[in-house]
Structure 1
């Protein structure tokens, strides 16, 4: 269960019960410094943390717990490395605990409201625009549980820069805004960034042809059939069913409630959006065939005709408006209501969307909103029982904790253009739930599955050297982070958070835990976005805040 407070029956999270002191004395020469309360400070980060303790009136060692979800082996291991690093000082006494995913998300979403004494290990899926990395986790309008600002961090200048960046169209101006913003967030360190992961799919060379790994987590199966992007996958055997895997159970079919990569991955072939983002970050038509800006806050979309949902109902502008407005009051409200004001239906296949404010990355944002039938919004279709979209595959079967199965949609709207067949060549796509990474490797080697999205990183070199397999790697549009309980002392002091961030063994995490897969991350925007995290900027940040 989630640990929500003093009344928990399993185990109460350890909370700091140390008496506050007005200040601590320090004595020593260069190198190791000893305080007059018997604490040795062996490095600049430790001295910075201790200075934060002094300002917060807290005496070390500070007790806390670092959490990870039980299903993600890599996350568990890097959490334990951070625990070991902090316990190696005289400043902290850190326990480690894992929770099953649903309980873990409950803990994370409610940690600030419940004032949990918790450090948490998680990640952002940043997508294709810098706003997607900074708004969810740091804007004061994005407090969890409806947003991803898990520790309810507030900073007026941060809010101003986020608002200014998202409303700015000029590229050079945006770069300047996001550099200032990132430096402020590193200085404040409400979260410490650890790693930008790679997206890696490994498949059997004798069975699969045409597969291409997509950079954004949660879209691993996109290239099975993406006609507007000009990609599709074929089985080169006489089989009609592609069998892949997923690392955890599918938590939700509902886009407004899904909070994990696996749920997005499972429904990615089932739902479609107005626009789709290509492998290079360009917006492409999907359910919208044309779109343009009328003025600073108005966009008009021409919708594809002849499209129907898996129920046989026609797709119209009414479905678009109902989908957008269904986000209001939902856990994913800010995904839409950060920019959406209203929509005017101009015809069955034309809609005008009015924005709350000028919004630079609207194309990217609209490409992340799966369109559902109006019947879902008005309650006449229960999406929790049977998900329905317009996508190239329709829902067939879900056995919780076992498998997820989709079948080709024979009535899909694609006409066979763009070098992609009119209907998906693969008739059935099955994802088997395989939680253990070693079991995923064994299933691939035995031919029980055709591809895996979660090969153990320690196996990459072996599979890359074997002609029977293809290891398809691309830099991921995401970042892993350590989150702090910044609503409680001493973690309310930026020096404490920044000092911990300096102690995180990033290079060791990448090499020892992920076997070289990924890139060190110091800033909230993934270093894959060189426009906003260029080498010179990153070098300056490292020199000033991590050296």
Structure 2
């Protein structure tokens, strides 16, 4: 999931972060190799690109450009783009041919695969977030073996060891440069009580409003003199309108056809999934009342060979089928073969009927859950929702594991994985459940701009949206936790005074891309909470008595990604050289004022338990490859210039 801002370290003291390990920055850099005809004293003509609505990012791009130019090898220019334009630009598959150095933010999951697979697996080109068409079969296999294998399902230690091999391979090849791990720091007025920050931007407000898994609920009290730190559930008040300042426009309300954090943030008020996660990554049933792993079989994807059909492949590797490709035969090459064997949904169903699958999970759907249009949630909603993810913008992430979804009865669903998957418990059910009224809409049409107001099971109903201005939501009167009672959730063991649903009545989601304008709106009491402010502004709010900041190290980072298919960027020496010119610690100290942590490795703290056998040893090994080292960079650049006669 691309982001335009920034076990989790809750309640982080960011001053300690700065004093201890330096912190890191939110870099959003892109660039290009100049045409051969282009004149200039330096061998490399580089265009840096950044979204213009983030002051910190612009300053960081300027700092990186300065660092590159000081070597004498680069002439740099900087271009800025409005956020949604920038996202569309980078996710265009043709971007990989333009020779730009791209950078954008990633918001992952609690699973380590999301911090390597999304950026570097060949199947994610043009989705999120392989921007440059990286296609390294050996790396693909390494990432797959750390997740899709009976051995790693049964042995978490082996899984961690295999991920360490992935991080080492990424350091060796340097397809991307991870610059920092975000520190998510929403700023709130003292009118907002009970709020706690979720470590992923897209769930920042839906979690803060109501999350029984962490006994989390927020309320408004505009009359009390007590600060949020001084109040508890006994002071809870119902009603009021929460005014949120959002840092970007809602690009889409259609879950399978959006891949930016602001859109998902806006969707999360309306839509829900079968499961939910607490702030430490533990998984709980949600729209599913319960679930279980029924069976695991030790197979690989060649087991589907007898069910596969052959489809044509053109010279660019595009397959001649409109069907969702569930599995492609691992021995076939769409770039070299005229035909490729594939498994589509119809054949996947045949395989499951014959007992060929990797894993089977069974989900018991919670009875009595109502959609905003009055439909009752059933197994059919789940099955049809998965079908809507076919060939969507998120199809690569959805069907990297999912094989088939079937209705057992009105309130029971089986979800099958293609092969044994160590991350299946979280990843298989991770789709937003649609109403039957909207499940047949064309991709992108589930959006008020297309005349279709989003309908879900969530705690808030969609009311109004004015493009690039605001969205409004109201509390859903028949929300299922209130109808059934929070005590009906088997795993909930919170206090008796914990409410059955969210207590804030209305939400105003104000779209204010400019940092300074959002900051002023918060100070002028025009909004109650915002995020992604310039770090110099955060310092001011931190020292003010009228506001508070709940900062958390997130599962997100910024990364530079090199155009590996364009000469001379296919030479890893050039990529390593530029990586040594990214001044991570200077960015933190001079731009971000400590509101982040440098990414000496590619995995954030909240995914370390499953993603590395020894975090300290990994950092000791990988950090030297990421340190600012102009001398080493110039040695590598000399070699590249000499070889290419630049």
Indicate the residue corresponding to 1:391 in structure 2: 458
CA contact (8 A) 1:479 1:525 kept: no
Among 294, 299, 318, which residue is 2:380 paired with? Answer: 318
Indicate the residue corresponding to 2:476 in structure 1: 409
Indicate the residue corresponding to 2:618 in structure 1: 537
Indicate the residue corresponding to 1:143 in structure 2: 125
RMSD of the alignment, in Å? Answer: 2.2
Local SS of the residue matching 1:411: coil
CA contact (8 A) 2:176 2:560 kept: yes
Among 433, 437, 442, which residue is 2:520 paired with? Answer: 442
Indicate the residue corresponding to 2:644 in structure 1: none
Indicate the residue corresponding to 1:519 in structure 2: 597
| 1:44-443 superposed matches below 5 A | 61-110=43-92, 112=94, 115-144=97-126, 146-167=127-148, 168-169=152-153, 170-205=155-190, 207-221=191-205, 222-237=207-222, 240-296=240-296, 297-366=359-428, 368-379=430-441, 383-384=446-447, 385-414=452-481, 415-417=485-487, 418-419=494-495, 420-443=498-521
Cα distance between partner residues in 1 of 2:266 and 2:402: 27
CA contact (8 A) 2:171 2:625 kept: no
Local SS of the residue matching 2:90: helix
User: What is the Cα deviation at residue 237 of structure 1?
Assistant: 2.7
Q: CA separation of 1:115/1:371 partners in 2, compared to 1, >3 Å: closer, same or farther? A: same
- Pairs aligned (count): 496
Q: CA separation of 1:165/1:380 partners in 2, compared to 1, >3 Å: closer, same or farther? A: closer
CA contact (8 A) 2:119 2:130 kept: yes
User: What is the Cα deviation at residue 505 of structure 1?
Assistant: 0.6
Local SS of the residue matching 1:94: strand
Cα distance between partner residues in 2 of 1:228 and 1:347: 28
Indicate the residue corresponding to 1:492 in structure 2: 570
CA contact (8 A) 2:54 2:534 kept: no
User: What is the Cα deviation at residue 367 of structure 1?
Assistant: 5.7
User: What is the Cα deviation at residue 446 of structure 1?
Assistant: 1.5
Cα distance between partner residues in 1 of 2:538 and 2:523: 13
Local SS of the residue matching 1:351: strand
User: What is the Cα deviation at residue 151 of structure 1?
Assistant: 0.8
Local SS of the residue matching 1:376: coil
Cα distance between partner residues in 2 of 1:380 and 1:496: 43
Cα distance between partner residues in 2 of 1:62 and 1:354: 50
CA contact (8 A) 1:250 1:266 kept: yes
CA contact (8 A) 1:343 1:352 kept: yes
CA contact (8 A) 2:109 2:555 kept: yes
User: What is the Cα deviation at residue 310 of structure 1?
Assistant: 0.7
Cα distance between partner residues in 2 of 1:423 and 1:391: 11
Cα distance between partner residues in 2 of 1:111 and 1:96: 22
Cα distance between partner residues in 1 of 2:466 and 2:430: 26
User: What is the Cα deviation at residue 113 of structure 1?
Assistant: 5.5
User: What is the Cα deviation at residue 485 of structure 1?
Assistant: 1.2
Local SS of the residue matching 2:97: coil
Which shifted more, 191-200 or 223-232? Answer: 223-232
Indicate the residue corresponding to 1:52 in structure 2: none
Indicate the residue corresponding to 1:16 in structure 2: 34
User: What is the Cα deviation at residue 75 of structure 1?
Assistant: 2.3
- More helix per residue: 1 or 2? 2
Local SS of the residue matching 1:352: strand
Local SS of the residue matching 2:560: strand
Local SS of the residue matching 1:256: helix
With normalisation by structure 2, the TM-score equals 0.73
Q: Give unpaired runs (5+ residues) of structure 2.
A: 1-30, 224-238, 297-358, 488-493, 630-646
Local SS of the residue matching 1:358: coil
Q: Does 1:457 pair with 2:562?
A: no
Cα distance between partner residues in 2 of 1:210 and 1:204: 12
Cα distance between partner residues in 2 of 1:436 and 1:147: 25
Which shifted more, 243-252 or 535-544? Answer: 535-544
Local SS of the residue matching 2:201: coil
Indicate the residue corresponding to 2:556 in structure 1: 478
Cα distance between partner residues in 1 of 2:261 and 2:441: 26
With normalisation by structure 1, the TM-score equals 0.86
Q: Give unpaired runs (5+ residues) of structure 1.
A: 1-12, 20-37, 40-59
Structure 1, residues 493-546: CA drift from partner, whole Å, max 9, x if none?
111111111110101112222211111013332244333351221122113564
Structure of greater relative contact order (alpha carbons < 8 Å, 6+ residues apart) = 2
Q: Does 1:507 pair with 2:585?
A: yes
Cα distance between partner residues in 2 of 1:78 and 1:411: 47
Local SS of the residue matching 1:485: coil
CA contact (8 A) 1:64 1:117 kept: no
User: What is the Cα deviation at residue 226 of structure 1?
Assistant: 2.2
CA contact (8 A) 2:407 2:414 kept: yes
User: What is the Cα deviation at residue 480 of structure 1?
Assistant: 0.7
CA contact (8 A) 2:32 2:48 kept: no
Indicate the residue corresponding to 1:3 in structure 2: none
